[in-house]
Amino acid sequence: LWAADAVAPTDVSYTELGGIAEPLSDTPGDIENGKALMNKGSGNCIACHQVSALSELPFHGEVGPPLDGVAERWDEAQIRGIVANAKKTFPGTIMPAFYHTGPYVRPGDAYTGEAATGDLAPILSAQDVEDLVAFLMTLDTYPE
Amino acid sequence: MSRSFWLGGCAASALIICGPAMLTAQEDPAERSLVINGEIEIVTEADAPAHLENLSTIRSGWTFRSPETQTMQMDDFDNPATLGVEAARAKFSSDLGNGESCASCHEAPEELAGVRAVYPKFDESAGEVQTIEMQINECITDRAGAEAWDYDKTDMINMSALMSFVSRGEAVNVAIDGPAAETWERGKEIYYTRYGLLELSCANCHEDNYDNMIRADHLSQGQVNGFPTYRLKNAKLNSVHGRFKGCVRDTMAETFSPGSPEFVALELYVASRGNGLSVEGPAVRN
């Protein structure tokens, strides 16, 4: 369910504040793929967050805070922790835990509405998390 | 207020042309008022009922829609749901399969005016809370002795729309105490449960974030006073439970089925959150 060089979701160690000090995979994060995950795919982060660097994409949500300048507000470890499981940083937050395998209430098989079968994979892979972290680390300014 | 809608839209998309948000009362969707056919006055905003702890004002989904969508609901000639209502009207006096029809027992649909506003409600003889669909099926099977209709198929959704249609303007007033209390509590529990891999509850979107944009959607309070709703997105009438199913599915969860005890309980609870709004269905939504 996860790559051999990745830390399993259940083995991730979070700091007291909810950060993750070490990368979750051996391959460095890919900024371009991280950028793509902000939109389509399983991330769909802009459903809830506005990001000026992605202004060519339509419909940024406003459920979460804008992510402009996020790398100024948090260090890499904390950002990794927020993407992997934001509930460790913000208890009870609406933001989904992306590198997590439950337990969940009535887990589904993706968006089919059917029950999930077998072991659950996290919503994002360890590499996806690293790619997103790499992209978020580029958001170090506050556009006008 | 819908200010955030426009700001969200501006931040979101260069496709939307927008200047400083200087909306007049006529243009601001949340400030418009709904009068259907120039005569049926609809309460689209009201004080929250006493049992609702986390909201002070309740608002119909209509107040969150674009002015164009809102306008479609202001005249039955412009409301695409009218076709379903007319189909149900014909069905009302046609053979249920054994010679009986709704009209054998209920003179006209209008005889059932006001009924919608108190559903779901506890039914003594059945010993359970019934939705209007369950009540209709009880008439079809137990009373007329005919074959039940599918809970979530066209005939039933149309008939449910007709039942809303003849009750439009009545204040929603479902009972939550007495024999309905247990079911209501169950519905409330479901409303606040965070389902699926995304771990989202109804409240996360419709209580904590109404009026915010989630991707391209302007979140409403998820009220059911407008059901069945004609959705422009799928160009048909949609049942309450069909909508619930879609919302649960979108949390990456295993949904409940239309007509299930869970959705009946949830409908009672959600309907009670709208006590004080008018029955508005069949409404137009996107």
- pLDDT tens for residues B140-162? 999 999 999 999 999 999 999 99
Look at the block and give the residue holding tokens 């202001």.
B74
**End-to-end alpha-carbon separation of chain B, Å?**
19
DSSP A23-64: -SSSSPP-HHHHHHHHHSTTT-GGGT---GGGTTSS----SS
Q: Residue A85 pLDDT more than 80? A: yes
- What is the crossing angle of helices B261-273 and B240-249, to 10°? 100
Q: How confident is the model at residue B1 (pLDDT cuts 50, 70, 90)?
A: very low
Q: What is the mean pLDDT of residues B69-79?
A: 97
Q: Residue A84 pLDDT more than 50? A: yes
CATH code for position B110: 1.10.760.10
The verdict on a CB contact (< 8 Å) between A105 and B196 is: yes
The C-alpha angle with vertex B165 and arms to B179 and B114, in degrees rounded to 5, equals 40
Q: Is B33 within a domain? A: no
On whether B18 is known to bind a ligand per the annotation, the reply is no
Q: How confident is the model at residue A43 (pLDDT cuts 50, 70, 90)?
A: confident
Q: What is the mean pLDDT of residues B128-146?
A: 97
Q: What is the pLDDT of residue B49?
A: 98
Q: Is B92 within a domain? A: yes
Q: Residue B10 pLDDT more than 90? A: no
In chain A, residues 88-117 whose CB comes closer than 8 Å to chain B: 94, 96-97, 102, 104-116
Q: Is B25 within a domain? A: no
Q: Is B2 within a domain? A: no
Q: Is B194 within a domain? A: yes
Q: What is the pLDDT of residue B24?
A: 56
The predicted complex's ipTM stands at 0.96
The dihedral over CA atoms of A43, A48, A54, A56, expressed in degrees to the nearest 10, equals 110
Q: Is B116 within a domain? A: yes
Q: Is B30 within a domain? A: no
The verdict on a CB contact (< 8 Å) between B248 and A94 is: no
Q: What is the pLDDT of residue B25?
A: 53
Domain span including residue B148: 39-284
The verdict on a CB contact (< 8 Å) between B199 and A61 is: no
| Cα four-point dihedral sign B133, B137, B139, B144 | positive
Structure tokens belonging to residue B48: 């929250």
**With pLDDT > 90 as the criterion, what percentage of chain B qualifies?**
89
Q: What is the pTM of this model?
A: 0.94
Give per-residue pLDDT as tens, B218-266: 999 999 999 999 999 999 999 999 999 999 999 999 999 999 999 999 9
Q: Is B34 within a domain? A: no
The verdict on a CB contact (< 8 Å) between B196 and A112 is: no
Give per-residue pLDDT as tens, B47-62: 999 999 999 999 999 9
Give per-residue pLDDT as tens, B182-209: 999 999 999 999 999 999 999 999 999 9
Structure tokens belonging to residue A27: 């391959």
Q: What is the mean pLDDT of residues B120-139?
A: 97
Please answer whether residues B253 and A107 qualify as being in contact, where contact means their C-beta atoms are separated by less than 8 angstroms.
yes
Q: How confident is the model at residue A68 (pLDDT cuts 50, 70, 90)?
A: very high
Q: Residue B5 pLDDT more than 60? A: no
Q: Residue A116 pLDDT more than 60? A: yes
Q: Residue B4 pLDDT more than 60? A: no
Selected residue of A39, A51, A52, A62 to mutate for chain B interface (largest B Cβ count, 10 A):
A62
Q: How confident is the model at residue A13 (pLDDT cuts 50, 70, 90)?
A: very high
On whether B241 is known to bind a ligand per the annotation, the reply is no
Q: B254 touching A, CB under 8 A?
A: yes
Q: What is the pLDDT of residue B17?
A: 36
Q: Taking the CB of residue B252, how many other CB atoms lie within 10 A of it? A: 26
Q: Residue B3 pLDDT more than 70? A: no
Q: Residue A5 pLDDT more than 90? A: no
Q: What is the mean pLDDT of residues B37-48?
A: 97
Number of domains in chain B: 1
Structure tokens belonging to residue B199: 């771990």
